[in-house]
Structure 1
Amino acid sequence: MLLILLMMHVAVGIQMLIDLNRPELTLLNDGAFSVLDGQVHAGPLGRLMVFGFPACWSLAALLGLVALVALAASGPSGRFIRNCKVALAVLLLLPFAAVAVAVTNIFVSPGLSTLALLGCLPSTVLGVLAVHGAQRYRRMPLWLPLAAFGGGLVMGGGFGATTGIWLASHLPNYLWTPGVGAAQLDYTVQTAVYVGAGVFEELGKGAAIAVLFLLFRRHFDGVVSGVVIGAATGLGFNYMESVLYITAGDGVYANLQYWLRQSLGLMAAHTAFTAAIGAGFGIARQLRTPSARRAVIACGFLAAISTHAANNLLLRYFQHEVSDWFPHVSDAVWVLAVFPIAILLLQGPLLVLYLLLLRRGLRGQAAGLAVELVAEAARGHGAVTWGELPALLNPARRFRVKVDVLRRGGGVRAYRRLARLHAAQLELGMHRWHASRDEVDPYDTRDEARLRERVLRLKTDGAVPLLGPQEGVPS
């Protein structure tokens, strides 16, 4: 995690150095920092850009120096080193979090930004719950998709906004040539910034996924887990960007932006782009050779970056050209027909891609669990019985069993106990499936015996399911 965060800060530092050393052009009213001219005196975002990151680097260097002195004086301590790492990680995350917050204009227009944050919250929560619910069998804990959501907002949003502002700041100085007018220069700069957004925003969101993959890899089963984490990360970024565009220009286009980003494009756009990155990490979890893992993760990044950049460029072209093709189109037709068609054409393919990957992954899980849970029931340990198999292998039936427990007087406590039992049984089945495919994570300290013991302990504590029909019982 620290290495990934350091690489992100190095990228920001490179952007600052490029800006510092840009060619000075009097026609562009150059200053010492081009960001200073337009941002520092206008609001907190510019001050964060120019002063926040160097302050963070100074504090990180000071923390490292203090840690070295303490270690030299008292000797190595595992707890002290761990605390220093945590403090350093928080310190490196802080400027990106600050930029992500500042980008929402909450310091400039707190009332409008707060209203936008609250207004986008219900649809975003529904999106996260829908993504989490897509795991029909073994589910990762809800806090992990929520952590991915936060990573997309802070690392993706903060890093993407930081690099985007620096690019827009210094690119005019590098792209201007004699004879180029202001309009042509602005068009060229905006084109480059749109491409850069596809690169840096996806790198920031992908960095959040990489951190979660490295820290909590035991929760990644395959492509399903990867798509869920990737989509949740994209929803976090989309939440921040929705507020940014809703509050832009004092909310003059707030209704349109909410429709495009929180209704029509909620599960497309950034959700779809980053789901492709997550799918790459999920598939890598099931590959044996490091070269194959790196290749499939790189393919996920390439798919997300290329489709994001192409979407930005083509959508901009589409907006300019359609007005010439259909000069008399009303605003209602634009909102209800033109924009949906454009999003369907530009973002639909990647949306279909991650849904197909999700469907294929769920089918693979169902087939693997069917084999392993039947084998577990045949061994007769009692962790999985023949009567439990129909519900375990059918998500709808599993839900009905829990509802029946609730309706027959068991209450919420019995419902939750049964849910934990099902989760533990599916965890055991997934572990057996990975073991049969030689995919057990070497960093996962659990084993089959411990997982089986946990299931039996839950049954002893009272989480006994209602037995369904005795399907699959050998005669």
Structure 2
Amino acid sequence: MTDNRPVLELDDAVARGRALLVARLAIGLYLVELLLNLTRPKVFPDEPALTIFEFPGEELLSGALGGLGSLYDVPRAAFWGVLAGIAVGVVLQVIAARGPSEGRRATVLAWVTLAALLGSFSLFSLFFILKSPLIALACVPTSAFALWLMHRCQWFARLPVPMLLTAFGWGALVQFGLGRACTSLASGTIYGHLGKDMDSELGFQLSDIYRATDLALLHLSVVNQVAGAAGIVLLLMMFRHRVTDVVTGLVLGAATGLGYNFSESVLFIRLWGHVTGQFNGATDGFEYWIRQGAGLFGGQVVCGALLGAGIGLAARTRGRGQRVGIVAASLVAAVGAAVANETLAAWFSKLAHGHVAIGGTLDTLVVSPSLWLAPQVPFIVVVVLLLRSGLRERAAAARQAVTAEAAAGGVIAAREVPFLVDPALRLWTLVSTWRRHGRDAALALHRFQRAQLEVAGWLWQRARADEVPGPEEREGEELRAKALQLRTDIDRLVAS
């Protein structure tokens, strides 16, 4: 290496540059959508330059389908907020280019630029969430429970909770907002091209509306998964020493999809259950049951898990061509899952409801959830198999890491190795400790074992990341100090 700067500092600069590249690509996508909308064929004589100011056919959609036009409607304040964020981001990048490329100033400018460029898209998401605060609050407990399960399922070398919350926030705010912002423009563009040769007296035909809706849904599915992939890549670059295996990406992607599902649930519970319920017979409770109950781990969670698993695997792959192929395959699979969820589920429902009473107990509890999940079954199976394979690899890695820490004379004693690597034995020791020494001693032992596994997981992550000593080394020292303190607490509780 010819540069005199530390390797870690140079890697940070590279990570910042790649993160800014991801943000610029997202902004570029939005500007392309904006340009296509500006240059679309005009259908109506007094049509505005941008269709988001007056959605073509919105009155027809609202009258015929009870407010479906609001599906792609966006607040104008959010639109101007995005443009302002882009302008601020450009100014910040010019300022950063005139200063040193390293140091605290460069780091702060990079992340503030990211916030300006991407954070403004969250205005679209906040618009829907704040418009239905009670629905949003109702979705919090189920989403929190799902996020807790994602954290617990890793059991070894777990991603930190702030990292999962960041992924959830990306999906709920940025991914959802970017998808809606782009699709609101694209839907207007699609209507412009479909309606350019229509008879002004007849207006839009029903077939045109269905075709435009199908194209808009396809566009939304693609943009959503691209935005989700961008968020996963950003997080993996920000926390690159945590990137270990397929499970890392899978859990991170699932958390991103769960965040998207949160905002989507707020929108659709209000739209399908409250606004259009008089036409389709749905209720708020039914939509909540489908999206936050029976289908909580389907839909966007599955799409995000597929994306994350592919990106996590690609991050550990050496060949550039292989990495591109893996990411492309995972993106195609995620888009396919999203499109299948949007189209096949409705088709299955139409076929089945001729034989099942709509709105009955059987339909609500069994038939409708099954039909909604049916197109996702192949993708769910793939995710489960990937998770199972990844957890098996982690079990083997845990044995090696725990044994290595014990051999080095660290916070793990040789006699403790069999208990730490076997969940059944760990549970047995906790129950036995509870019986002999009480609840406090058992809880202290549980915390101590978790701390020991965190030390072993840190060793494994650091070895796979191939990092030089730096902040991660200090993290290991802090974890060991915590484990030693917990050992002291256990000795005191057992002796008393």
Give the TM interval when normalised to the shorter protein.
Answer: 0.7 to 0.9
SS in 2 for 1:100: helix
Q: Is the CA contact 1:424–1:454 (under 8 Å) kept in the aligned structure 2?
A: no
Please tell me the residue identity of whatever aligns with 2:178: F
Please tell me the residue identity of whatever aligns with 2:179: G
- Report 1:340-355 matches (<5 A): 340-355=369-384
Structure 1 Cα separation of the partners of residues 195 and 469 of structure 2 = 58
Q: Determine which of 485, 488, 494 is the counterpart of 1:461.
A: 485
Q: Determine which of 4, 7, 12 is the counterpart of 2:30.
A: 12
Q: Which residue of 1 aligns with 2:173?
A: 154
Q: Which residue of 1 aligns with 2:417?
A: 389
**Are 2:458 and 1:427 aligned?**
yes
Q: Is the CA contact 2:445–2:490 (under 8 Å) kept in the aligned structure 1?
A: no
- Report 1:58-137 matches (<5 A): 58-67=87-96, 71=99, 78-104=103-129, 106=130, 110=131, 113-137=132-156
Structure 1 Cα separation of the partners of residues 302 and 34 of structure 2 = 31
After TM superposition, the structure 1 stretch with the greater mean CA deviation from structure 2, 327-336 or 300-309, is: 327-336
**TM-score w.r.t. structure 1 length?**
0.84
Aligned in 2, Cα 1:232/1:444: closer, same or farther, shift over 3 Å?
farther
Structure 2 Cα separation of the partners of residues 124 and 146 of structure 1 = 11
Q: Which residue of 1 aligns with 2:81?
A: 52
C-alpha displacement at 1:455, in angstroms? 6.5
Q: Is the CA contact 1:245–1:254 (under 8 Å) kept in the aligned structure 2?
A: no
Q: Is the CA contact 2:444–2:486 (under 8 Å) kept in the aligned structure 1?
A: no
C-alpha displacement at 1:65, in angstroms? 4.2
Aligned in 2, Cα 1:407/1:200: closer, same or farther, shift over 3 Å?
farther
C-alpha displacement at 1:149, in angstroms? 0.5
Q: Is the CA contact 1:213–1:220 (under 8 Å) kept in the aligned structure 2?
A: yes
Aligned in 2, Cα 1:396/1:96: closer, same or farther, shift over 3 Å?
farther
C-alpha displacement at 1:450, in angstroms? 7.7
Q: Is the CA contact 1:231–1:278 (under 8 Å) kept in the aligned structure 2?
A: yes
SS in 1 for 2:409: coil
Please tell me the residue identity of whatever aligns with 1:101: L
Q: Is the CA contact 2:167–2:235 (under 8 Å) kept in the aligned structure 1?
A: yes
Q: Is the CA contact 2:42–2:192 (under 8 Å) kept in the aligned structure 1?
A: yes
Please tell me the residue identity of whatever aligns with 2:378: P
1:383-407 deviation line (CA, Å, top 9, x unaligned):
4332111221123433554673783
1:403-449 deviation line (CA, Å, top 9, x unaligned):
73783544866754543233113333x25xx85xxxx3245646999
- Runs of 5+ unmatched residues, structure 2: 1-18, 59-68, 278-282, 492-496
- Report 1:208-219 matches (<5 A): 208-219=231-242
Structure 2 Cα separation of the partners of residues 448 and 152 of structure 1 = 27
**Are 2:40 and 1:22 aligned?**
yes
Q: Which residue of 2 aligns with 1:471?
A: none
Structure 1 Cα separation of the partners of residues 388 and 411 of structure 2 = 28
**Are 2:205 and 1:182 aligned?**
yes
After TM superposition, the structure 1 stretch with the greater mean CA deviation from structure 2, 124-133 or 47-56, is: 47-56
Q: Which residue of 2 aligns with 1:441?
A: 465
SS in 2 for 1:463: helix
Q: Is the CA contact 2:447–2:486 (under 8 Å) kept in the aligned structure 1?
A: no
| RMSD of aligned residue pairs (Cα, Å) | 3.3
- Runs of 5+ unmatched residues, structure 1: 468-475
C-alpha displacement at 1:122, in angstroms? 0.5
Structure 2 Cα separation of the partners of residues 93 and 426 of structure 1 = 32
- Report 1:216-365 matches (<5 A): 216-248=239-271, 250=274, 252=277, 253-323=283-353, 325-326=354-355, 329-365=358-394
After TM superposition, the structure 1 stretch with the greater mean CA deviation from structure 2, 290-299 or 304-313, is: 290-299
Give the number of aligned pairs.
Answer: 447
Q: Determine which of 37, 40, 50 is the counterpart of 1:33.
A: 50
Aligned in 2, Cα 1:121/1:444: closer, same or farther, shift over 3 Å?
farther
Aligned in 2, Cα 1:142/1:396: closer, same or farther, shift over 3 Å?
farther
C-alpha displacement at 1:31, in angstroms? 2.7
Aligned in 2, Cα 1:183/1:286: closer, same or farther, shift over 3 Å?
same
Structure 1 Cα separation of the partners of residues 94 and 321 of structure 2 = 37
Q: Percent identity?
A: 25
Q: Is the CA contact 2:48–2:54 (under 8 Å) kept in the aligned structure 1?
A: yes
**TM-score w.r.t. structure 2 length?**
0.81
Aligned in 2, Cα 1:327/1:173: closer, same or farther, shift over 3 Å?
farther
Aligned in 2, Cα 1:464/1:446: closer, same or farther, shift over 3 Å?
farther
Please tell me the residue identity of whatever aligns with 2:226: L
C-alpha displacement at 1:134, in angstroms? 0.5
SS in 2 for 1:45: coil
Q: Is the CA contact 1:36–1:50 (under 8 Å) kept in the aligned structure 2?
A: no
Aligned in 2, Cα 1:427/1:84: closer, same or farther, shift over 3 Å?
closer
C-alpha displacement at 1:223, in angstroms? 1.2
Q: Determine which of 180, 190, 199 is the counterpart of 2:222.
A: 199
Structure 1 Cα separation of the partners of residues 422 and 286 of structure 2 = 41
Structure 2 Cα separation of the partners of residues 194 and 91 of structure 1 = 28
